Chain A
Amino acid sequence: MYSISKHIFFSKNKLLSNFEMLYNFENSLTFANVFKTIYKDLGVRYPKYFKMDALSKLGFLSTEVLLQNRSLTEIYKSEKIGIIVANSASTYIMDSKHQASLDDKESYFPSPANFVYTLPNIMTGEICIRHKFKGENAVFISEEFDTEFIYKYTNKLLIDNKLDATIVGYVNIDNDDYEAFLMLVENKEGEIFDLNTLKETYTKYKLLTWIN
């Protein structure tokens, strides 16, 4: 039996957990300001965070709230914990920054610290490092969150016993907007992880952040 233990949604400067509003910042604030405030408020001490690109920071903060000091490795083997996420813009913000360091031949200076963050799976890698997830991981790129495919694929990994617990969802950021939707799915009793629940939960969050 695979069930949803928790879900979070972070978009438009609002962060909700199990449909409850945890943070609600003014729309006029930049995402950088919002991320900084939440990082401080969570009381996390993780110096690597400051080196991360915006996509990794978004994934990192969302996962911190989703797991909330829970250590999954105390219950499951590291290699049986995974992360399966979709994304749309890949690492567009960092891509543009890296490209800008090449475009001007007068100040040509590509930086390895930027270049490494031009891969979308660095975001999942950062989450795996932080929480010691060593299992299945994937980053799918789709225009919008393709709930049906992500559900089918994740469910297949669970029923094949490739995973006992996994984070599944969508993490995306570009110059205009950001959105993270994450679910924690575990091999235990509870609200059943199925396509309808995944779809309905995501749609409800979209509505909630739209209204508020």
Chain B
Amino acid sequence: MKRVFVHGSYLISSLGFGIKENSTKLFAGKSGSELILDKKYYPKAFFASKIDNKRFNKVFKDLFPDIKNSYTFFEQLLIFVIQQSLKKYPIDLKSEETLLIISSTKGNIDLLAKNEKSKWKENRVFLWKSAQIIKDFFGIQNKAIVISNACISGVEAIGIGSRMIREGSYKNIIVAGADILSEFVVAGFQSFQSLSSKLCRPYDANRTGLNLGEAAGVVILTSEEKKSDIEVLGSGISNDANHISGPSRTGDGLYFAIKSAIDESSIKVEDIDFISGHGTATNYNDEMESKAFQLAGLENTPINSLKGYWGHTLGAAGLIESIAAIETMKNNLLIKTLGYDKHGVSIPINIVKDNQSLPIKTVLKTASGFGGANAAIIFQKTKNNV
């Protein structure tokens, strides 16, 4: 079976631009979330993680001085992160063995608003259109693939990418994900009463809901081992088949995804050194996760959630959290779960409360979301890096 290696990680978030800025702030315990009062998103103040717009406009213009302003914010984010990724790991974009996979839940949904609608062609709001525009920008030959499976999109996209490398049709796959803050999404989550008015507290007894966030992230998956530190061993996707907006009460869905990923990886449960959890800080999600980790025999394995730093960045979450997991592996340093203080899920899972040095070779990343979907993926340091 072909091996799948990870290269060219890059991200933009509320914490900053690039791996270094983000990981420095993660390791320092700094949150990118804040109280936002902007009627563009919501009539009242809400707590969320926002990208520094002014700074982004400047760096985007610096990187692409010749581009006229004909790309939306969502598209610009993806173009920018992919360009930075390709700088780190150049690939033959025109090759028929190169594929672009985009992960997003709502893409250009902000264009649907009354005062935006007239500015763009109607089909610009569709995810396939965004993917086409980005593919054409880079001159990629193959049709771009878009995965839109709510909050698991990012983890699922990396899983799909690694499967398609093993399938044999592609040598290099760019997996990029983004979601932006919009009135559409903020008001929607508010109507669901699932937003916290303060910094979110994953797995904590006093958790009161999630913080939304915007971000973009990218990795390049390749069958070429050269100088790679990390590989993808296996992945699994599942469905709770229980409720469209509430997670399983037993955790069996997420457990099936974890088991499928472990089986494919040919590793034992004990080989997993660390779990990068989903941990949205909603009551039911965090509880469900704890049950799934117990079912999988992982209740003693250290686990964190990064939602306290970046908020829930929807289709980007799986990508940027996987990138953080990779940094965790490279630095052998676990990042504490910001917002977690008093244990608040019924299973005594081992939540990382303080940063902690630990040799980490193998990581499990999970995600769960609306529609009852769950995803799990296993990353491992390559042998020459252990």
Q: Hey, which bits of chain A sit against chain B, CB under 8 A?
A: 78-79, 83, 88-90, 92, 95-96, 98-99, 102-103, 108, 110-112, 115-116, 118-122, 124-126, 128-129, 131-143, 146, 149, 152-153, 156-157, 160, 162
CB <8 Å contact, B371 and A96:
no
One of B183, B260, B370 near A162 (C-beta < 8 A):
B260
What are 20 pairs between A and B in contact, CB < 8 Å? A90-B127, A98-B184, A99-B113, A110-B188, A115-B191, A124-B371, A125-B373, A129-B244, A134-B240, A135-B238, A135-B256, A136-B236, A136-B237, A137-B237, A138-B147, A138-B149, A149-B145, A156-B163, A156-B164, A156-B167
Chain A residues contacting B370 (CB-CB under 8 Å) are 116, 119, 121-122, 125
CA distance A144 to B348 in the complex (A): 48
What would 18 more interface pairs be, CB under 8 Å, given A135-B239, A141-B127? A79-B256, A90-B148, A110-B191, A112-B193, A118-B184, A120-B148, A122-B370, A124-B239, A128-B240, A128-B241, A129-B372, A137-B373, A139-B147, A142-B143, A142-B145, A146-B143, A153-B167, A156-B167
CB contact under 8 A between A133 and B187, given known A103-B114, A153-B163, A160-B264 = no
- Which B186-230 residues sit within 8 Å CB-CB of chain A? 187-193
CB <8 Å contact, B143 and A138:
no
Chain B nearest CB, measured from A86 CB (Å)? 10
Overall SS of chain B's interface: helix
A-B contact count (CB 8 A): 157
CA distance A122 to B371 in the complex (A): 5
Chain A residues contacting B125 (CB-CB under 8 Å) are 92, 95
Chain B residues contacting A103 (CB-CB under 8 Å) are 113-114
One of B105, B166, B183, B241 near A134 (C-beta < 8 A):
B241
Chain B residues contacting A152 (CB-CB under 8 Å) are 164, 167, 169
CA distance A160 to B165 in the complex (A): 13
- Which B4-24 residues sit within 8 Å CB-CB of chain A? none
CB contact under 8 A between A95 and B184, given known A102-B113, A125-B372, A143-B132 = yes
CB <8 Å contact, A142 and B146:
yes
Q: Hey, which bits of chain B sit against chain A, CB under 8 A?
A: 43, 105-106, 109, 112-114, 125-129, 131-132, 143, 145-150, 156, 160, 163-164, 166-167, 169, 183-184, 187-193, 236-245, 252-253, 256, 260, 264, 370-373
Chain A residues contacting B187 (CB-CB under 8 Å) are 102, 110
Chain B residues contacting A138 (CB-CB under 8 Å) are 147, 149, 156, 160, 237
Chain B residues contacting A149 (CB-CB under 8 Å) are 143, 145
Chain A residues contacting B126 (CB-CB under 8 Å) are 88-90, 92, 141, 143
Chain A residues contacting B245 (CB-CB under 8 Å) are 112, 116
CB <8 Å contact, A136 and B147:
no
CA distance A119 to B109 in the complex (A): 12
CA distance A153 to B190 in the complex (A): 36
CA distance A121 to B369 in the complex (A): 10
CA distance A99 to B185 in the complex (A): 10
Chain B residues contacting A124 (CB-CB under 8 Å) are 239, 371
Considering the complex, give the chain B residue whose CB is closest to the CB of A156.
Answer: B167
